[in-house]
Amino acid sequence: MTQQQQQPAPHAEQRAGIIAGATAYVVWGLLTIYWKQLRDFDAFELIGWRITASAVIMAVAVSYTHLRAHETPEHLVCRLLLEKKKATCSMSHD
């Protein structure tokens, strides 16, 4: 593969950044409605829930990206070759 095929177009990255920024602003603006509903909620309990939820979400996100990082075509070929080598070695020893 050439380098042009591996890297996304600069316009696509810029568009994705603009969409992410706009989404963040919209969510931040809509959160004020949510926070007003939590007026009677204990602040320390809210912080505890936010910390717990953030930890769970980040653990899932990091685990997923870690697993996906090893699925590049180069790593996949290496893994398949190693599995094939293990299979032939175990057959020859039996």
Percent of the chain scored above 90 by pLDDT? 14
Q: Is the pLDDT of residue 85 over 90?
A: no
Query: Average pLDDT for residues 41-70, to the nearest whole number?
Result: 84
Find out whether 38 and 46 touch, Cβ atoms under 8 Å: yes
Percent of the chain scored above 70 by pLDDT? 69
Mean pLDDT of the residues in the chain: 77
Confidence (pLDDT) at 23:
92
> pLDDT digits over 12-46, tens only?
888 888 999 999 999 888 888 887 887 888 888 88
Q: Is the pLDDT of residue 2 over 60?
A: no
Q: Is the pLDDT of residue 1 over 60?
A: no
Sorted by where each begins, the domain ranges of the chain are: 9-39, 41-94
Q: Is the pLDDT of residue 3 over 80?
A: no
Residue 73 in tokens: 């075509």
Going by C-alpha positions, the residue among 23, 19, 40 that lies closest to residue 31 is 23
Residue 70, CB-side half-sphere exposure with 13 Å CA sphere? 8
Instruction: List the alpha helices (DSSP H) in 38-72.
Output: 43-69
